[in-house]
């Protein structure tokens, strides 16, 4: 994933107390309620869903106006997915890769290249954005692990 001029590269790792197959299903079962799980204030609309692809749009209120983005996700089971995000403030190319850890655990490697879009300002510092992503994925991890402990006998990965 080469960085373009005006772009910045970011990455984080997040461990989960759940196996890779559960984490993959949980993370890629996109729903309109997902932003609330990460404690984000935005509206999500799922536009398309197929076996290997999900397309959705997010609309987020900010003090300076609305941030809109369209996300095209390509699924690469059993442990990878990619996303291309186009928005009015920023564009992203993201890669998500899961690996197994001992003790029925797993780890996500999240990498992304961010570029300001039409209305965007310069990229945030690596430290600040990665701290924000660690917090977001920490929120997701708490819900995911709770769901894994409480999963129903049908093996449903999500909180329905």
Looking at the chain, list the stretches that DSSP marks H as alpha helix, in order from N- to C-terminal side: 20-27, 34-37, 126-150
Across the strands, what pairs with 93?
84, 113
Q: pLDDT, tens digit, for every residue of 7-21?
A: 999 999 999 999 999
Residue 131, helix vs strand vs coil: helix
Count of residues making up the chain: 160
Per-residue pLDDT of the chain (160 residues), as tens digits, is: 554 458 999 999 999 999 999 999 999 999 999 988 878 889 999 999 999 999 999 999 888 888 899 999 999 999 999 999 999 988 999 999 999 999 999 999 999 999 987 777 788 889 999 999 999 999 999 999 999 999 854 455 555 4
Compute the CA torsion angle 59, 139, 134, 70 (nearest 10 deg): -20
Map out the domains of the chain as residue ranges.
Answer: 8-150
Residue 100 is inside which H or E element, if any?
A: strand 90-101
Query: Residues near 57 by Cβ (< 8 Å), separated by ≥ 6?
Result: 44, 45, 47, 68, 69, 70, 71
- At 156 the pLDDT is 57
- Select 8-150's CATH number: 3.90.1260.10, 3.40.30.10, 3.40.1160.10, 3.30.530.20: 3.30.530.20
């Amino acid at each position: 994933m080469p960085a373009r001029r005006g772009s910045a590269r970011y990455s984080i790792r997040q461990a989960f107390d759940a196996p890779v197959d559960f984490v993959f299903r949980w993370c890629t079962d996109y729903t309109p309620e997902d932003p609330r799980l990460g404690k984000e204030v935005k509206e999500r609309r799922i536009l398309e869903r197929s076996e290997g692809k999900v397309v959705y749009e997010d609309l987020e209120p900010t003090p300076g106006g609305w941030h809109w983005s369209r996300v095209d996700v390509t699924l690469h089971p059993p442990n990878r997915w990619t996303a291309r995000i186009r928005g009015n403030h920023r564009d992203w190319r993201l890669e998500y890769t899961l690996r197994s850890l001992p003790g029925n655990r797993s780890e996500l490697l999240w990498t992304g290249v961010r570029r300001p879009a039409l209305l965007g300002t310069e990229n945030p510092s690596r430290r600040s954005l990665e701290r924000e992503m660690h917090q977001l994925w920490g929120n997701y991890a708490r819900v995911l692990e709770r769901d894994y402990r409480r999963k129903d006998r049908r093996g449903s990965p999500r909180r329905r």
